[in-house]
């Protein structure tokens, strides 16, 4: 299963697995039931250098390769998908600051983000601008040495717990720009906290900007670069989500296999029934296929080779796989699977979100098809 990983990559996996199974997995059901964000885990992730995976070492980060990061997200998500999701969003926000921020902004934010003292959030979507982010309406108007932001953003992962937001806003009729907005900026407040089907320990919120003033130096890149910056970061984000979905699928297979070995009906374990065997065979094959697509996309990104199609393929396949495999795990557990006594119902609720965020799977299929039609099918 891990045939393509070298010794160093396997060692990273083992370290993260030990941590995640001891410090995250035992609490995931409770965090889900109480919608709690695990702040103490954030600090421990910082000590493991995981809060700075996309941050250069010069600024206190660990600058992990995309492939190493994919291994980390897969392994964390086997314990809890929510943790992998908010960590991925944090590292995506940090990657934008590292790539497009001025030296002063990097110095101000990246060491704090790597230490876990500042949690990052990424805010592109709005209520009426999801799959089509170019329709966003939040404005940022230049006023002397400041920008003044007005509007409302939606679906902000970690909106209620983050200290630093990367926010995309309109600076002209055809120009979208990216800004760093600290959580204590005057005029910024958290709106409603979204009540979701799953991912309960990863808070998702609305953000309201009312004459929110930030220094003009908080612009990332140049005016008009915002959409390019956001979409570029989402390519890596998609590989992270593919990795996390792979971990979620793996967790579902692990529980379903254990149950199939133990549960008896008709004086036999249900694992002796061919119908259950075929389901398990399809599930484990799909998880491995998702893992391979994900590692390939990560490896391409590491080698600065275009990976738009491969990242979309990995995200689309792995998240559809997670939905299917978690649903099958509930089926294998029968009535028990439909209860809170087992984790598979949570896995199934969590899986659904992965088909929607970082670009829905309909949008991923459009990206793949466009690439095939433009270039070729190979």
Ligand X SMILES: Cc1cc2nc3c(=O)[nH]c(=O)nc-3n(C[C@H](O)[C@H](O)[C@H](O)COP(=O)(O)OP(=O)(O)OC[C@H]3O[C@@H](n4cnc5c(N)ncnc54)[C@H](O)[C@@H]3O)c2cc1C
Task: Note the residues at the interface with ligand X (CB under 6 A).
Answer: 89, 122-125, 130-131, 155-157, 196, 199, 204, 353, 356-357, 359-360, 362-363, 366
Rounded distance, CA 267 to CA 260, Å?
A: 13
| Closer to ligand X by Cβ: residue 108 or 354 | 354
Least Cβ distance, residue 207 to ligand X (angstroms): 10
Nearest residue to 109 via CA among 151, 148, 55, 33: 55
Is the Cα torsion angle 30, 33, 36, 38 positive or negative in sign?
positive
**Closer residue to ligand X in complex, CB, 148/366:** 366
Q: In the complex with ligand X, which residue's Cβ is closer, 204 or 250? A: 204
Provide, rounded to whole angstroms, the least separation between the CB of residue 161 and ligand X: 12
Q: Whose Cβ is closer to ligand X: residue 108's or residue 364's?
A: 364
User: What residue is closest to ligand X based on CB?
Assistant: 130
CA 245, CA 225: separation in Å to the nearest integer?
A: 30
Judge whether 358 counts as a catalytic residue: yes
| Largest distance between two CA atoms of the chain | 79
Q: Which residue has the tokens 């704090």?
A: 112
The pair phi, psi for residue 151, each rounded to 5°, is: 145, -170
Nearer CB in complex with ligand X: 178/260: 178
* Least distance from ligand X to the Cβ atom of residue 93, Å: 9
CA dist list (Å): 74 to 41, 66, 265, 292, 367: 17, 12, 34, 12, 24
Residue 2: CB minimum distance to ligand X, A:
29
DSSP per-residue string spanning 184-212: TSTTEEEEEEP--SS-TTS-EEEEEEEEE
Look up tokens 């699928």; give the residue.
Answer: 249
CB of 89 or CB of 169, closer to ligand X: 89
Rounded CA-CA distance 200/26 in Å is: 16
Instruction: Report phi then psi at 155, rounded to 5.
Output: 65, 40
**Min dist. Cβ of residue 374 to ligand X (A):** 17
Contact 226, 169 (CB under 8 A): yes
117 or 363: CB nearest ligand X: 363
* DSSP characters over 113-127: HHHTSS-EEEE--BT
How far apart (Å, rounded) are the C-alpha atoms in residues 48 and 37?
19
Least Cβ distance, residue 169 to ligand X (angstroms)? 12
Q: Which among 41, 136, 21, 149 has a CA at the least distance from the CA of 86?
A: 41
Question: Please, what is the minimum distance in Å from the beta carbon of residue 231 to ligand X?
Answer: 11
d(CA 91, CA 259): 36
Cα separation values, 117 from 95, 169, 204, 294, 358, Å: 16, 26, 20, 30, 25
Of the candidates 126, 235, 345, 358, the residue annotated as catalytic is 358
Which among 149, 148, 180 is positioned nearest to 163, based on CA atoms? 180
Task: Write out the catalytic residue numbers.
Answer: 358
């Amino acid at each position: 299963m891990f045939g393509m990983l070298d010794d160093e990559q396997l060692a990273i996996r083992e370290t993260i697995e030990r941590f995640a199974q001891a410090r995250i997995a035992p609490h995931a059901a409770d965090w889900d039931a109480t919608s709690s964000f695990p702040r103490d885990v954030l600090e421990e992730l910082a000590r493991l250098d995981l809060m700075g995976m996309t941050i250069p070492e010069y600024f206190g980060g660990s600058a992990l390769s995309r492939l190493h990061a994919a291994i980390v997200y897969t392994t964390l998500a086997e314990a809890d998908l929510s943790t992998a999701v908010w960590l991925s969003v944090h590292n995506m926000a940090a990657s934008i600051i590292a790539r497009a921020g001025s030296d002063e902004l990097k110095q101000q934010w990246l060491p704090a983000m790597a230490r876990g003292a500042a949690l990052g959030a990424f805010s592109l979507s709005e209520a009426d601008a999801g799959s089509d982010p170019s329709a966003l309406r939040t404005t940022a108007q230049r006023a002397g040495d400041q920008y003044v932001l007005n509007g409302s953003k939606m679906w902000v992962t970690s909106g209620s717990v983050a200290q630093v937001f990367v926010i995309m806003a309109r600076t002209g009729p055809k120009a979208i720009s990216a800004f760093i907005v600290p959580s204590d900026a005057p005029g910024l407040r958290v709106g409603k906290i979204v009540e979701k089907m799953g991912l309960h320990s990863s808070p998702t919120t609305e953000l309201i900007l009312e004459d929110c003033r930030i220094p003009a130096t908080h612009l990332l890149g140049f005016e008009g670069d915002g959409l390019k910056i956001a979409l570029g970061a989402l390519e890596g984000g998609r590989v992270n989500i593919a990795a996390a979905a792979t971990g979620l699928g793996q967790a579902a297979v692990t529980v379903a296999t254990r149950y199939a070995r133990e549960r008896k009906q008709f004086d036999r374990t249900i694992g002796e029934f061919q119908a259950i065997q075929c389901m398990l065979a399809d599930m484990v094959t799909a998880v491995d296929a998702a893992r391979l697509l994900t590692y390939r996309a990560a490896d391409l990104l590491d080698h600065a080779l275009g990976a738009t199609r491969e990242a979309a393929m990995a995200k689309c396949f792995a998240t559809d796989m997670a939905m299917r495999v978690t649903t099958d795990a509930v089926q294998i557990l029968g009535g028990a699977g439909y209860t809170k006594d087992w984790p598979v119902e949570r896995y199934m609720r969590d899986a659904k979100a992965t088909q929607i965020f970082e670009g829905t799977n309909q949008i991923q299929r459009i990206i793949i098809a466009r690439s095939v039609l433009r270039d070729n099918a190979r």
